Amino acid sequence: MNFCSTCGSSDIHLAVPEGDTFERHVCSSCAAVFYSNPKMIVGCLVTDEAGRVLLCKRAIEPRYGLWNLPCGFLENGETVEQGALRETWEEALVKVTTPRLHCIYNIPKVDQVYIIYAAQLLHRSEGTTTESLEVEFFHRQDIPWKDIAFTSTTFALEKHFEFLGKEAVPVHVGTFHNFAAR
Ligand SMILES: [Zn+2]
């Protein structure tokens, strides 16, 4: 950061504040401490009545043109479920029902935590948006595995199919050190 948002000073330094264990940006003029914490990304793995899975072809960087689950940054004032449903609507024009927590994964390298719900398509309304070049439902065998945007997306898809039809389905937890697809 270049300027203190409290007093406007450009004299910012890194220090471990008293009682803290991490380095923070601290203003030398007014002693304000600025905390930076991981961002949360929320979204849905949506299935339709035929068991096909919804994917969106990214219209934005990074990984432009590759396929991803509809997801995005959680906004202030939202629950993770509300955010997941909102992102699904914003990216794919899809409304869903019976959302169930599907997976949580950490990407420490980029300071992100993903929370993905599994949900059923409510009615057929999908369409492209400014964030998605294409929006499509895929049978397992038709999924463009080589053009999936992120390793974490592949994880979410694989876990979905692995536990399909099983009675006890856990919340899948993963950690990824590589941002890109495998
Ligand atoms: Zn200041």
Residues 133-179: tens digit of each pLDDT: 999 999 999 999 999 999 889 999 999 999 999 999 999 999 998 66
* Structure confidence at residue 179 (pLDDT): 61
| Model confidence pLDDT, tens digit, residues 31-77 | 999 999 999 999 999 999 999 999 999 999 999 999 999 999 999 99
The rounded Å distance from CA 15 to ligand 1 centre is 14
The rounded Å distance from CA 119 to ligand 1 centre is 46
Structure tokens, 46 = 């949506």
Task: Compute φ and ψ for 169, nearest 5 degrees.
Answer: -115, 115
The rounded Å distance from CA 78 to ligand 1 centre is 30
Give the separation between CA 151 and CA 127, rounded to whole angstroms: 25
The rounded Å distance from CA 11 to ligand 1 centre is 8
> Under the phi-then-psi rule, with left for phi > 0, alpha for psi from -120 to 50, and beta for the rest, what region is 35?
beta
- Tell me the mean pLDDT in the region 9-24: 95
* Residue 166: alpha-carbon gap to chain centroid: 25
User: Are 91 and 60 in contact, with CB atoms under 8 Å apart?
Assistant: no
Q: Element (H or E) spanning 88, and its range?
A: helix 80-92
The DSSP code sequence of 1-70 is --S-TTT--S-EEEE--TT-SS-EEEETTT--EE----EEEEEEEEE-TTS-EEEEEESSSSSTTSEE-S
Q: What is the pTM of this model?
A: 0.90
The rounded Å distance from CA 25 to ligand 1 centre is 10
The rounded Å distance from CA 126 to ligand 1 centre is 48
The rounded Å distance from CA 10 to ligand 1 centre is 8
Answer whether residue 181 shows pLDDT above 90.
no
